[in-house]
Structure 1
Amino acid sequence: MDESIRSRIVQEAADLFNAKGYRGVTLSELASRLGMSKKTLYLYFSGKEEIAEAVLDTIMKAIANYVKTHMQTSGHPLDVFERVFMSIKSEIVKLHPLFLNDIQKYIPGLWTKLEAFRSEQLTFIERLLQRAMQEGHIRNVNPRLVTAIMLESIQRMARPDVAAKYGVTMVEMGETLFGLYMHGLRADQSNKRSE
């Protein structure tokens, strides 16, 4: 199988899914845009669901690489955390909320895979928090508990249905959560009320 053709299929599918959502795209339309037959598509993928999974796998692989690369760098742990967050954000914005909403509604197994990946990748938070606390950059907190709270917040709030409910994007939701945690954890912040 030609890997460049497979990559072309995934990229064109990503463009269509982001424009029309998962349900709004047919394999006939995808094949037509690629200038190939549906039969050729089936040589590379068993169906539309597998193509959607390949689209998400591309994003997840990029995110995993960002996390791995940034975790190997030195520097202020909160700066590393911010760089990782910004890298993740740059990938997440490639996925239109309509596509993610359709995945959540119509392909629950794939949504579960995405949430499991998100949980797995967020383990870097605990390691960074431990380092930040040891170096005196954040308050004396239980890094595992803070990580669990952050993860639960992200899992519950950074979802297409919740973002839509509040009239915001998933990126806005993520940025807000990130800002709340980072500012609340810093050791140099005072909790005193202004008088």
Structure 2
Amino acid sequence: MEETVRLRIVKEAAELFNAKGYRNVTLSELAARLGMSKKTLYLYFSGKEEIAEAVLGLTMNAIAGFVAEQMKRDGDPLGVLQETFRSIKNEIVKLHPIFLEDIQKHAPALWERLERFRARQLVFIEELLTRAKQAGQIRDVHPRLVAAMMMDSIQRMVRPDYAAKHGFTMPDVADTLFVLFVEGLRADGKM
């Protein structure tokens, strides 16, 4: 029962955060939408930041589960990388840029947690690039270095502030970055 209530709170908070951003949502507003008191909210979460962390946690858990599932797959490593990237992007777009931008600006500890999570995906990317190199799919490059460069580029560019600064969406930036890396790596130059 307690977990059901927590999930209900998180889902309602996600809707509010995506509509108004993190900064513009109050616990009073969230409690009213849920038909409960703020005091009841505090029985489940210590505050708004913990609720936002749970919202991000849903996305990160979905991504982590998908990555773990993909790590078990055999076959075309670049195809697995591409499919995984698409699935990750589909999860990320569930989080509205206004929410992510507010997290980046007003909840730096949460943003840092998100950045650390993204950095942990380095092992997955390196493993797939190593398999692709062994299969002759990519150029003779060091997979760990390429994975590090890819993750650093993602962390630098696939951000709300970067996308907005250049007049694009985060998915546009992510798609372009992915294409540039994969196309540049391919030994045959074909996608």
TM range (shorter): over 0.9
Do residues 123 (structure 1) and 123 (structure 2) align?
A: yes
- RMSD across aligned C-alpha pairs, in angstroms? 1.0
Q: How far, CA to CA, are the matches of 1:52 and 1:118 in structure 2?
A: 17
Question: Can you give the 5+ residue segments of structure 1 that lack an aligned partner in the other structure?
Answer: 191-195
Q: In structure 1, give the amino acid aligned to 2:85.
A: F
Counting aligned pairs with the same residue, the percent is 66
Deviation for aligned residue 1:128 = 0.5
State the partner residue of 1:161: 161
CA contact (8 A) 2:122 2:148 kept: no
Stretches (4+) displaced over 2 A = none
Deviation for aligned residue 1:158 = 0.6
Q: In structure 2, give the amino acid aligned to 1:179.
A: V
Deviation for aligned residue 1:91 = 0.5
Q: How far, CA to CA, are the matches of 1:121 and 1:184 in structure 2?
A: 20
State the partner residue of 1:139: 139
State the partner residue of 2:17: 17
Q: How far, CA to CA, are the matches of 1:50 and 1:65 in structure 2?
A: 22
* Deviation by residue 1:39-85 (Cα, 9 ceiling, x = unmatched): 11000001101000000011100000000001111110001001110
Q: In structure 2, give the amino acid aligned to 1:120.
A: R
Q: In structure 2, give the amino acid aligned to 1:180.
A: L
Q: How far, CA to CA, are the matches of 1:189 and 1:82 in structure 2?
A: 16
SS in 2 for 1:25: coil
State the partner residue of 2:186: 186
CA contact (8 A) 2:129 2:143 kept: yes
Alignment of 1:29-178 (within 5 A): 29-178=29-178
Deviation for aligned residue 1:189 = 1.5
The normalised TM-score by structure 1 is 0.95
Question: Can you give the 5+ residue segments of structure 2 that lack an aligned partner in the other structure?
Answer: none
Deviation for aligned residue 1:175 = 0.6
Deviation for aligned residue 1:132 = 0.3
Q: How far, CA to CA, are the matches of 2:134 and 2:73 in structure 1?
A: 17
Q: How far, CA to CA, are the matches of 1:26 and 1:103 in structure 2?
A: 14
State the partner residue of 1:193: none
Q: How far, CA to CA, are the matches of 1:175 and 1:143 in structure 2?
A: 20
